[in-house]
């Protein structure tokens, strides 16, 4: 929809790659679309990204405010027992990713902050799949071309 969303997606890919290099379980792991559904458990861990939402609202006669949602999804294989090891690993991944991603996405014209963090561990399968979903909000303004 906009060049700003494409730019945010490109910057998000770069930020996630750099941040993942500082978390041992994610070093060198593939970066895929967050929309990918059928993942072979042997391919885990993986990181998915998406920038699915762009909202616009007039903030002045000649400019629009833009709000984006940028999503980072980390999927890992979890032990089959009921220990909290999978959740702990995902919490550690969140700690390693959030700050560096926010810092890398922030620009003079773009404000970025984590909006939500969610963890889900599948209740079946071998191995069970743990999913961390980080949702960031990014806001900016852009000039409108009014005839």
What fold characterizes domain 3-143? Alpha-Beta Plaits (3.30.70)
pLDDT value at residue 58:
83
- Given a contact cutoff of 8 angstroms between Cβ atoms, the answer to whether 67 and 137 are in contact is yes
pLDDT digits (tens, 9 = 90+) for 97-139: 999 999 999 999 899 999 999 999 987 777 888 999 999 999 9
Minimal CA–CA distance to 93: which of 134, 124, 55? 134
pLDDT at 80: 67
Strand, coil or helix: 139: strand
pLDDT digits (tens, 9 = 90+) for 3-58: 888 888 999 999 999 999 989 989 998 888 877 777 777 888 999 999 888 888 88
Band of pLDDT at residue 141, cut at 50, 70 and 90: confident
The candidate with the shortest Cα–Cα distance to 142, out of 110, 107, 94, 96, is 110
Strand partners, 50: 71
Whether this model's pTM surpasses 0.85: yes
Q: What is the pLDDT of residues 74-83, one digit of tens each?
A: 999 887 666 7
């Amino acid at each position: 929809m906009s060049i700003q969303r494409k730019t945010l997606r490109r910057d998000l890919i770069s930020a996630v790659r750099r941040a993942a290099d500082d978390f041992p379980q994610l070093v060198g792991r593939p970066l895929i679309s967050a929309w990918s559904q059928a993942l072979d458990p042997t391919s885990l861990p993986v990181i998915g990204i998406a920038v699915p939402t762009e909202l616009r609202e007039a903030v002045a006669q000649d400019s629009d405010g833009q709000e984006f949602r940028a999503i980072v999804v980390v999927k890992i294989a979890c032990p089959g027992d009921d220990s909290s090891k999978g959740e702990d690993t995902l919490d550690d991944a969140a700690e390693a990713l959030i700050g560096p991603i926010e810092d890398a996405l922030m620009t003079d014209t773009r404000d970025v902050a984590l909006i939500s963090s969610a963890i889900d561990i599948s209740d079946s399968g071998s191995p069970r799949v743990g999913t961390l979903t980080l949702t960031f909000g990014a806001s900016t303004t852009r000039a409108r071309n009014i005839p």
